[in-house]
Amino acid sequence: MTDLAVGIDIGGTKTAVGLVTRTGEVIARLDAPTPANEGGDSIVSAASSLAHTLLHGRTVIGVGVGAAGVIDSVARRVVSATGSLSNWAGTDLGRAFEAALDLPVVVQNDVHAHAAGEAFVGAGRGHGTVLVAAVGTGIGGAVVVDGQPQFGAHGVAGHLGHLPAEEAAGILCPCGREGHLEAIASGTALHELYLRLGGDADVQDAREVVRRTDNDQRARTAVVTSARALGRCLGGLVNVIDPDIVIIAGGMRRAGALWWSSVEEAMRTTAMPLVERVPLVEASLGDDAAIIGAARGAFESLEAVNQ
Ligand SMILES: [Zn+2]
Protein backbone atom coordinates (compact mmCIF):
# COMPACT_ATOMS: atom_id res chain seq x y z
CA MET A 1 0.00 0.00 0.00
CA THR A 2 1.25 3.43 -0.86
CA ASP A 3 0.64 6.78 0.73
CA LEU A 4 0.41 8.86 -2.44
CA ALA A 5 -2.29 9.48 -5.07
CA VAL A 6 -2.43 11.69 -8.14
CA GLY A 7 -5.10 14.41 -7.98
CA ILE A 8 -6.19 16.00 -11.28
CA ASP A 9 -8.36 19.13 -11.49
CA ILE A 10 -9.65 19.89 -14.99
CA GLY A 11 -11.29 23.32 -15.17
CA GLY A 12 -12.51 25.39 -18.09
CA THR A 13 -9.30 27.42 -18.28
CA LYS A 14 -6.67 25.53 -16.27
CA THR A 15 -5.67 21.94 -15.54
CA ALA A 16 -3.77 21.28 -12.31
CA VAL A 17 -2.19 18.01 -11.24
CA GLY A 18 -0.71 17.17 -7.85
CA LEU A 19 0.87 14.35 -5.87
CA VAL A 20 -1.18 14.17 -2.68
CA THR A 21 -0.54 12.27 0.53
CA ARG A 22 -3.14 10.25 2.41
CA THR A 23 -3.42 13.11 4.91
CA GLY A 24 -4.19 15.66 2.19
CA GLU A 25 -0.82 17.30 1.72
CA VAL A 26 0.20 18.32 -1.80
CA ILE A 27 3.89 17.46 -2.14
CA ALA A 28 4.28 18.47 -5.81
CA ARG A 29 2.05 20.17 -8.35
CA LEU A 30 2.02 21.38 -11.95
CA ASP A 31 -0.54 23.24 -13.99
CA ALA A 32 -1.10 24.26 -17.58
CA PRO A 33 -3.87 25.86 -19.65
CA THR A 34 -6.70 23.43 -20.49
CA PRO A 35 -6.83 22.98 -24.30
CA ALA A 36 -10.52 23.87 -24.05
CA ASN A 37 -11.25 24.06 -27.79
CA GLU A 38 -9.47 20.87 -28.80
CA GLY A 39 -11.84 18.23 -27.45
CA GLY A 40 -11.77 15.52 -24.78
CA ASP A 41 -8.77 13.56 -26.12
CA SER A 42 -6.48 16.60 -26.05
CA ILE A 43 -7.68 17.64 -22.60
CA VAL A 44 -6.98 14.15 -21.18
CA SER A 45 -3.64 14.00 -22.95
CA ALA A 46 -2.53 17.40 -21.55
CA ALA A 47 -3.47 16.35 -18.02
CA SER A 48 -1.77 12.95 -18.40
CA SER A 49 1.41 14.57 -19.59
CA LEU A 50 1.54 16.70 -16.41
CA ALA A 51 0.92 13.57 -14.33
CA HIS A 52 3.73 11.67 -16.09
CA THR A 53 6.15 14.47 -15.33
CA LEU A 54 5.17 14.51 -11.65
CA LEU A 55 5.16 10.74 -11.20
CA HIS A 56 8.66 10.22 -12.53
CA GLY A 57 8.67 6.53 -11.53
CA ARG A 58 7.03 7.05 -8.13
CA THR A 59 4.44 4.53 -6.93
CA VAL A 60 0.90 5.80 -6.26
CA ILE A 61 -2.34 4.11 -5.29
CA GLY A 62 -4.13 5.58 -8.31
CA VAL A 63 -5.56 8.68 -9.91
CA GLY A 64 -8.46 10.85 -8.74
CA VAL A 65 -9.94 13.17 -11.33
CA GLY A 66 -12.16 16.19 -10.64
CA ALA A 67 -13.50 17.41 -13.98
CA ALA A 68 -15.68 20.30 -15.14
CA GLY A 69 -19.18 19.34 -16.32
CA VAL A 70 -21.79 16.94 -15.01
CA ILE A 71 -19.93 13.70 -14.30
CA ASP A 72 -21.30 10.18 -13.92
CA SER A 73 -18.90 8.83 -11.28
CA VAL A 74 -20.01 5.24 -11.79
CA ALA A 75 -19.61 5.21 -15.59
CA ARG A 76 -16.70 7.66 -15.18
CA ARG A 77 -17.99 9.74 -18.10
CA VAL A 78 -18.75 13.38 -18.80
CA VAL A 79 -22.55 13.47 -19.05
CA SER A 80 -22.89 17.09 -20.12
CA ALA A 81 -20.75 20.20 -20.31
CA THR A 82 -21.20 23.92 -20.85
CA GLY A 83 -19.79 25.65 -23.92
CA SER A 84 -16.47 26.41 -22.23
CA LEU A 85 -15.08 22.95 -23.13
CA SER A 86 -15.80 21.76 -26.67
CA ASN A 87 -16.40 18.06 -27.44
CA TRP A 88 -16.19 17.31 -23.73
CA ALA A 89 -19.61 15.69 -23.16
CA GLY A 90 -19.40 11.93 -23.67
CA THR A 91 -15.67 11.69 -22.90
CA ASP A 92 -14.90 8.39 -21.18
CA LEU A 93 -12.53 9.80 -18.56
CA GLY A 94 -12.03 6.50 -16.74
CA ARG A 95 -10.87 4.58 -19.77
CA ALA A 96 -8.88 7.46 -21.30
CA PHE A 97 -6.86 8.13 -18.14
CA GLU A 98 -6.34 4.42 -17.46
CA ALA A 99 -4.96 4.01 -20.98
CA ALA A 100 -2.72 7.06 -20.64
CA LEU A 101 -1.37 6.43 -17.13
CA ASP A 102 -1.78 2.67 -16.59
CA LEU A 103 -3.23 3.30 -13.11
CA PRO A 104 -6.68 2.83 -11.55
CA VAL A 105 -8.83 5.95 -12.01
CA VAL A 106 -11.69 7.46 -9.96
CA VAL A 107 -13.73 10.32 -11.43
CA GLN A 108 -15.95 13.07 -10.02
CA ASN A 109 -17.05 16.62 -10.81
CA ASP A 110 -14.54 19.40 -10.06
CA VAL A 111 -16.84 21.28 -7.68
CA HIS A 112 -17.52 18.06 -5.76
CA ALA A 113 -13.75 17.47 -5.59
CA HIS A 114 -13.13 21.05 -4.44
CA ALA A 115 -15.73 20.71 -1.70
CA ALA A 116 -14.33 17.35 -0.59
CA GLY A 117 -10.88 18.96 -0.27
CA GLU A 118 -12.24 21.88 1.79
CA ALA A 119 -14.18 19.48 4.00
CA PHE A 120 -11.12 17.23 4.48
CA VAL A 121 -8.27 19.62 5.31
CA GLY A 122 -9.67 23.13 4.68
CA ALA A 123 -12.31 25.24 6.42
CA GLY A 124 -14.53 22.19 6.98
CA ARG A 125 -11.90 20.05 8.70
CA GLY A 126 -13.37 18.01 11.55
CA HIS A 127 -17.01 18.68 10.59
CA GLY A 128 -19.39 15.86 9.63
CA THR A 129 -21.83 17.67 7.33
CA VAL A 130 -20.41 20.50 5.23
CA LEU A 131 -22.29 22.74 2.78
CA VAL A 132 -20.01 24.40 0.22
CA ALA A 133 -21.19 27.20 -2.08
CA ALA A 134 -18.75 27.98 -4.90
CA VAL A 135 -19.62 31.49 -6.07
CA GLY A 136 -17.58 32.83 -8.98
CA THR A 137 -18.37 33.49 -12.64
CA GLY A 138 -21.03 30.80 -12.10
CA ILE A 139 -22.42 29.19 -8.94
CA GLY A 140 -21.88 25.58 -7.94
CA GLY A 141 -21.72 23.73 -4.69
CA ALA A 142 -21.75 20.47 -2.84
CA VAL A 143 -22.92 18.79 0.31
CA VAL A 144 -20.14 16.69 1.87
CA VAL A 145 -21.15 14.12 4.48
CA ASP A 146 -18.37 12.38 6.44
CA GLY A 147 -15.85 13.28 3.74
CA GLN A 148 -18.00 12.07 0.86
CA PRO A 149 -19.50 14.62 -1.58
CA GLN A 150 -23.08 13.66 -2.40
CA PHE A 151 -23.43 13.07 -6.15
CA GLY A 152 -27.17 12.28 -6.32
CA ALA A 153 -28.82 10.01 -8.87
CA HIS A 154 -27.38 11.76 -11.95
CA GLY A 155 -24.25 13.48 -10.63
CA VAL A 156 -26.16 16.77 -10.42
CA ALA A 157 -26.49 17.08 -6.60
CA GLY A 158 -25.14 20.32 -5.17
CA HIS A 159 -25.98 22.59 -8.11
CA LEU A 160 -27.19 25.33 -5.81
CA GLY A 161 -26.89 27.99 -8.53
CA HIS A 162 -30.13 26.63 -9.94
CA LEU A 163 -32.31 27.15 -6.88
CA PRO A 164 -35.20 29.55 -7.50
CA ALA A 165 -34.55 33.19 -6.55
CA GLU A 166 -37.27 35.82 -6.86
CA GLU A 167 -34.81 38.58 -7.84
CA ALA A 168 -33.93 36.49 -10.92
CA ALA A 169 -37.54 36.29 -12.19
CA GLY A 170 -37.54 36.61 -15.97
CA ILE A 171 -33.73 36.50 -16.22
CA LEU A 172 -32.26 33.69 -18.30
CA CYS A 173 -29.84 31.41 -16.43
CA PRO A 174 -26.90 29.75 -18.25
CA CYS A 175 -28.66 26.38 -17.72
CA GLY A 176 -31.50 27.46 -20.02
CA ARG A 177 -34.17 28.06 -17.36
CA GLU A 178 -35.28 31.40 -15.94
CA GLY A 179 -35.35 32.67 -12.38
CA HIS A 180 -32.38 30.78 -10.94
CA LEU A 181 -29.93 32.04 -8.31
CA GLU A 182 -26.95 31.97 -10.70
CA ALA A 183 -28.74 34.54 -12.90
CA ILE A 184 -28.65 37.11 -10.08
CA ALA A 185 -25.82 36.14 -7.70
CA SER A 186 -22.84 34.96 -9.75
CA GLY A 187 -20.07 37.44 -10.49
CA THR A 188 -21.25 37.66 -14.08
CA ALA A 189 -24.84 38.27 -12.95
CA LEU A 190 -23.80 40.93 -10.41
CA HIS A 191 -22.10 42.90 -13.18
CA GLU A 192 -25.15 42.56 -15.45
CA LEU A 193 -27.47 43.61 -12.62
CA TYR A 194 -25.39 46.74 -12.03
CA LEU A 195 -25.68 47.66 -15.73
CA ARG A 196 -29.46 46.99 -15.70
CA LEU A 197 -29.79 49.33 -12.75
CA GLY A 198 -28.31 52.08 -14.93
CA GLY A 199 -24.74 51.81 -13.67
CA ASP A 200 -21.67 53.19 -15.43
CA ALA A 201 -21.30 51.35 -18.76
CA ASP A 202 -17.49 51.60 -18.47
CA VAL A 203 -17.51 49.21 -15.50
CA GLN A 204 -16.16 45.92 -16.85
CA ASP A 205 -16.80 43.23 -14.25
CA ALA A 206 -18.07 42.29 -10.80
CA ARG A 207 -14.76 43.18 -9.16
CA GLU A 208 -15.15 46.77 -10.33
CA VAL A 209 -18.77 46.89 -9.15
CA VAL A 210 -17.65 45.75 -5.70
CA ARG A 211 -14.90 48.38 -5.66
CA ARG A 212 -17.45 51.16 -6.28
CA THR A 213 -19.83 50.39 -3.42
CA ASP A 214 -18.51 53.25 -1.26
CA ASN A 215 -19.45 55.95 -3.76
CA ASP A 216 -21.96 54.47 -6.19
CA GLN A 217 -25.50 53.78 -4.94
CA ARG A 218 -26.26 51.51 -7.92
CA ALA A 219 -23.22 49.39 -7.11
CA ARG A 220 -24.41 49.10 -3.49
CA THR A 221 -27.91 48.10 -4.58
CA ALA A 222 -26.54 45.50 -7.00
CA VAL A 223 -24.20 43.96 -4.40
CA VAL A 224 -26.85 43.85 -1.66
CA THR A 225 -29.53 42.45 -3.98
CA SER A 226 -27.39 39.62 -5.32
CA ALA A 227 -25.84 38.82 -1.93
CA ARG A 228 -29.28 38.62 -0.25
CA ALA A 229 -30.54 36.27 -2.94
CA LEU A 230 -27.57 33.99 -2.24
CA GLY A 231 -28.05 34.25 1.52
CA ARG A 232 -31.72 33.30 1.39
CA CYS A 233 -30.91 30.22 -0.71
CA LEU A 234 -28.19 29.25 1.78
CA GLY A 235 -30.65 29.71 4.67
CA GLY A 236 -33.16 27.44 2.92
CA LEU A 237 -30.46 24.83 2.38
CA VAL A 238 -29.43 25.04 6.02
CA ASN A 239 -33.02 24.19 6.94
CA VAL A 240 -32.95 21.14 4.65
CA ILE A 241 -29.46 19.83 5.36
CA ASP A 242 -28.64 21.07 8.90
CA PRO A 243 -24.90 21.36 8.14
CA ASP A 244 -22.21 21.77 10.80
CA ILE A 245 -20.70 24.60 8.75
CA VAL A 246 -21.36 26.61 5.57
CA ILE A 247 -18.32 27.47 3.43
CA ILE A 248 -18.19 30.01 0.60
CA ALA A 249 -15.55 29.30 -2.04
CA GLY A 250 -14.94 30.96 -5.41
CA GLY A 251 -13.90 34.45 -6.45
CA MET A 252 -16.93 36.23 -4.97
CA ARG A 253 -15.73 35.37 -1.47
CA ARG A 254 -13.46 38.40 -1.92
CA ALA A 255 -16.44 40.69 -2.61
CA GLY A 256 -15.99 42.57 0.64
CA ALA A 257 -17.79 43.35 3.91
CA LEU A 258 -21.06 44.65 2.43
CA TRP A 259 -21.47 41.48 0.35
CA TRP A 260 -20.61 39.17 3.27
CA SER A 261 -22.88 40.95 5.77
CA SER A 262 -25.77 40.88 3.27
CA VAL A 263 -25.28 37.15 2.58
CA GLU A 264 -25.05 36.39 6.28
CA GLU A 265 -28.05 38.43 7.40
CA ALA A 266 -30.27 36.88 4.70
CA MET A 267 -29.03 33.38 5.54
CA ARG A 268 -29.68 33.78 9.29
CA THR A 269 -33.12 35.35 8.91
CA THR A 270 -34.16 32.53 6.54
CA ALA A 271 -32.72 29.69 8.62
CA MET A 272 -35.04 28.30 11.32
CA PRO A 273 -34.13 29.40 14.87
CA LEU A 274 -32.62 26.01 15.77
CA VAL A 275 -30.03 26.29 12.99
CA GLU A 276 -29.65 30.06 12.51
CA ARG A 277 -26.24 30.18 14.28
CA VAL A 278 -24.52 27.77 11.88
CA PRO A 279 -20.98 29.05 11.18
CA LEU A 280 -20.55 30.80 7.80
CA VAL A 281 -16.89 30.96 6.73
CA GLU A 282 -14.61 31.51 3.78
CA ALA A 283 -12.86 28.60 2.02
CA SER A 284 -9.24 28.29 3.09
CA LEU A 285 -7.44 26.04 0.59
CA GLY A 286 -7.43 28.09 -2.61
CA ASP A 287 -6.31 26.39 -5.81
CA ASP A 288 -5.29 23.06 -4.31
CA ALA A 289 -8.71 22.13 -2.91
CA ALA A 290 -9.90 20.20 -5.96
CA ILE A 291 -6.59 18.32 -6.35
CA ILE A 292 -6.79 17.25 -2.71
CA GLY A 293 -10.47 16.26 -2.97
CA ALA A 294 -9.88 14.31 -6.19
CA ALA A 295 -6.95 12.43 -4.61
CA ARG A 296 -9.06 11.77 -1.53
CA GLY A 297 -11.68 10.19 -3.79
CA ALA A 298 -8.97 7.87 -5.13
CA PHE A 299 -7.82 6.82 -1.64
CA GLU A 300 -11.38 6.17 -0.46
CA SER A 301 -12.62 4.24 -3.51
CA LEU A 302 -9.48 2.28 -4.34
CA GLU A 303 -8.72 1.23 -0.78
CA ALA A 304 -12.33 0.17 -0.27
CA VAL A 305 -11.96 -2.03 -3.38
CA ASN A 306 -8.64 -3.49 -2.22
CA GLN A 307 -9.80 -4.39 1.28
ZN1 LIG B 1 -30.08 27.66 -13.89
C-alpha to C-alpha distances, 181 to 145, 189, 224, nearest whole angstrom: 24, 9, 14
Q: What pLDDT is recorded for position 84?
A: 79
CA distance 24 to 117: 8
- Hey, what domains does the chain have and what are their CATH numbers? 4-114+286-306 (3.30.420.40), 126-282 (3.30.420.40)
Instruction: Answer positive or negative: Cα dihedral of 33, 141, 282, 217.
Output: positive
Cβ atoms of 233 and 160 within 8 Å: the answer is yes
- 97 CA distance to ligand 1 centroid (A)? 31
Q: What pLDDT is recorded for position 114?
A: 96
- 184 CA distance to ligand 1 centroid (A)? 10
Per-residue pLDDT in tens (0 to 9) along the chain, 307 residues: 679 999 999 998 899 999 999 999 999 999 999 999 999 999 999 999 999 999 998 999 999 999 999 999 999 999 998 777 889 999 999 999 999 999 999 999 999 999 999 999 999 999 999 999 999 989 999 999 999 999 999 888 999 999 999 999 999 998 899 999 999 999 999 999 999 999 999 999 999 999 999 999 999 999 999 999 999 999 999 999 999 999 999 999 999 999 999 999 999 999 999 999 999 999 999 889 999 999 999 999 998 765 5
Q: What pLDDT is recorded for position 93?
A: 98
Q: What pLDDT is recorded for position 307?
A: 54
- 98 CA distance to ligand 1 centroid (A)? 33
- 161 CA distance to ligand 1 centroid (A)? 6
CA distance 267 to 297: 30
- 177 CA distance to ligand 1 centroid (A)? 5
- 289 CA distance to ligand 1 centroid (A)? 25
CA distance 140 to 186: 10
Query: What confidence tens digit (pLDDT) does each residue in 38-79 have?
Result: 999 999 999 999 999 999 989 999 999 999 999 999 999 999
- 125 CA distance to ligand 1 centroid (A)? 30
Phi-psi sector, 160: left (phi>0), alpha (psi -120 to 50), beta: alpha
- 181 CA distance to ligand 1 centroid (A)? 7
- 172 CA distance to ligand 1 centroid (A)? 8
CA distance 258 to 244: 24
- 144 CA distance to ligand 1 centroid (A)? 22
Enumerate residues with CB within 5 Å of ligand 1 (an ion).
162, 173, 175, 177, 180
- 220 CA distance to ligand 1 centroid (A)? 24
Q: List 130's β-bridge partners, or say none.
A: 144, 245
CA distance 180 to 173: 6
Q: How far is CA 148 from the centre of its chain?
A: 14
Q: What pLDDT is recorded for position 306?
A: 58
Mean pLDDT of the chain: 95
- 176 CA distance to ligand 1 centroid (A)? 6
- 171 CA distance to ligand 1 centroid (A)? 10
